[in-house]
Amino acid sequence: MLKVLRNLKKSFLSVVVIVLLLCLQAATDLALPEYTSKIVNIGIQAGGIEEAVPEIIAKEDMDNLLMFTQEDNQILENYTLVGKEPNKQEETIINKYLGKDKEVQADTIYTLKKIEEEPKQELAKIMATPLLEWQTIQKEEIANPIKEKMMAKMPEVQKHYIQTQSLMEIIKNTPEEQRNEVLSQFTSKIDDMQDSIKEQAAIATVKEVYKKLGVDTDKLQNNYILMAGMQMLGIASITMISAISIMLLSSKVAAKLGRTLRDKVFKKVIHFSNKELSEFSTASLITRSTNDIQQIQQLITMLFRVVVYAPIIGIGGFVKVLTTSDSQMAWIIGVAILAILFIVGTLFIMTMPKFKKLQELVDKVNQVAREILTGLPVIRAFHKEKKEEARFEVANTNLMKTDRFVSRAMSMMMPLLMLVMNSIMILIVWVGGHNVEQGVMQVGDMMAFIQYTMQIVMAFLMISMISIMLPRAAVSARRINEVIEAEPSIQDLPEVKEFDPNKKGLVEFKNVSFRYPDADTEVLSDINFTAKPGETTAIIGSTGSGKSTVVNLLPRFYDVTGGELLIDGVNVKEVSQKKLRDLIGFVPQKGILFSGTIESNIKYADETMSDERMKQAAEIAQAIDFIEEKEKQFKEPIAQGGSNVSGGQKQRLAISRAIAKDPEIFVFDDSFSALDFKTDSKLREALASKTKNKTVILVAQRISTIMNAEKIVVLEEGKVVGVGTHEELMKDNETYRQIALSQLSEEELGKKGGE
Write down all domains in the chain, each with its CATH number in brackets: 2-20+254-485 (1.20.1560.10), 38-226 (no CATH), 497-583+665-672+693-755 (3.40.50.300), 591-662 (3.40.50.300)
- Do the beta carbons of residue 583 and residue 567 sit within 8 Å? yes
pLDDT of 184: 64
DSSP string, 681-698: HHHHHHHHHHTTTSEEEE
Distance CA(455)–CA(344), nearest Å, equals 18
Distances (CA, A) of 574 to 495, 498, 555, 700: 8, 9, 13, 30
What is the torsional sign of CA 580, 585, 588, 593?
A: positive
Return the beta strands (E) in 660-734 as ranges: 665-669, 695-699, 711-716, 719-724
- Which residue blocks in 84-116 are alpha helix, DSSP H? 88-98
Q: What's the chain's length in residues?
A: 755
pLDDT of 483: 85
Residues in the chain where the model's pLDDT stays below 50: 752-755
pLDDT of 326: 57
pLDDT of 590: 80
Residue 115, H or E segment = none
Buried (b) or exposed (e) across 370-384, using 16+ Cβ within 10 A? ebbeeeeeebeeeee
Cβ atoms < 10 Å from Cβ of 720: 21
**Phi, psi (deg, nearest 5) at residue 266:** -65, -45
pLDDT of 748: 66
Instruction: Tell me which amino acid residue 482 is.
Output: E
Count CA atoms closer than 13 A to 271's CA, side-chain side.
17
Question: Which residue, 641, 620, 616, 618, is CA-closest to 630?
Answer: 618
Q: Alpha-carbon Rg of the chain, whole angstroms?
A: 47
Distance CA(442)–CA(244), nearest Å, equals 35
Distance CA(287)–CA(293), nearest Å, equals 9
Residues 10, 12, 15: CA angle, nearest 5 degrees: 125
Return the beta strands (E) in 31-168 as ranges: 56-58, 79-81, 109-112
What's the order of all strands across the beta sheet hosting 79-81? 56-58, 109-112, 79-81
pLDDT of 755: 41
What is the torsional sign of CA 191, 192, 195, 199?
A: negative
Distance CA(150)–CA(167), nearest Å, equals 10
Question: Which residue, 372, 374, 370, 369, is CA-closest to 395?
Answer: 369
SS3 label, residue 639: coil
Distances (CA, A) of 19 to 168, 304, 306, 307, 398: 63, 7, 11, 9, 41
Buried (b) or exposed (e) across 230-262, using 16+ Cβ within 10 A? eebeebeebbeebbeebeebbeebbebbbebbe
Q: Name the pairing type of β-strands 536-541 and 507-514.
A: unpaired
pLDDT of 159: 64
Cβ atoms < 10 Å from Cβ of 514: 23
SS3 label, residue 584: strand
pLDDT of 192: 61
Cβ atoms < 10 Å from Cβ of 415: 9
What is the torsional sign of CA 471, 475, 476, 478?
A: positive
Distance CA(713)–CA(711), nearest Å, equals 7
Read off the pLDDT of residues 686-745 as tens digits, 9 standing for 90 and up: 888 777 888 889 888 888 888 888 899 998 888 888 888 888 888 888 888 888 888 777
- Do the beta carbons of residue 561 and residue 513 sit within 8 Å? yes
pLDDT of 189: 60
Residues with Cβ within 8 Å of 396's Cβ and at least 6 positions away in sequence, in order, are 365
SS3 label, residue 565: strand
pLDDT of 342: 84
Question: Which residue, 113, 118, 130, is CA-closest to 77?
Answer: 113
pLDDT of 154: 65
